[in-house]
Amino acid sequence: MLSNPSPKKRRSLIKTLRWVKEEEVWNHWKKVEGVPDELINWENEVRSKLPYILAWFRCKVEKDDVDKIYVISSDEWRGLAQSFKLADVVKSLETPRLNSLARSILEKKKVYEQNLNALDRVFILVSPTVTGNYTIIEGNKRASALLSLKKLVGSQIYLGVSPKIRDYFWARLTPR
């Protein structure tokens, strides 16, 4: 568990459940993406640019975490909202002009409305510190859909922590 000095001075918001091995994180990602188990040296553009050493934790999103969560810093997400903050992305879904990314999020929202367990609800985030800010590297659309339904709080995540995340390409637009 992360320390909680006092309710007013609480710095670490993500509730840590346990430390995990990196292999568990990648196996989860492979499952979500439908990557065959036999692909041992599986790589993708997001994963290959991560720092070599990360401390991985299984955590739970709490209410105060939401304002510290950002979507991946990619061109695809740039045009959707005024910032990469997850809450801003969700607000942008209320506008009448929606692009294909927004429509995809709203499709996932409809699926979750029918059955909250129909899609995976575990996401992968990274941060330079346990206190955030946090960048989603896997599950951006699903996290957006859940937040729009006010169901993100309580979701479990994998959190990778390394000071080198400050230089990580896919988190470059997440405020430090």
Predicted pLDDT at 168: 93
- The pLDDT of residue 155 is 94
As a whole number of angstroms, the distance between CA 2 and CA 13 comes to 9
Residue 12 · residue 2 · CB < 8 Å: yes
Question: In angstroms, rounded to a whole number, what is the distance separating the alpha carbons of residues 128 and 49?
Answer: 15
pLDDT by 10-residue block (mean), the chain, 176 residues: 36 74 92 81 80 94 94 89 92 84 94 94 95 94 97 96 94 82
For residue 16, what pLDDT is reported? 77
- pLDDT for the residue 82: 82
Please tell me the predicted confidence (pLDDT) of residue 9.
Answer: 44
Maximum separation of any 2 CA atoms in the chain, in Å: 48
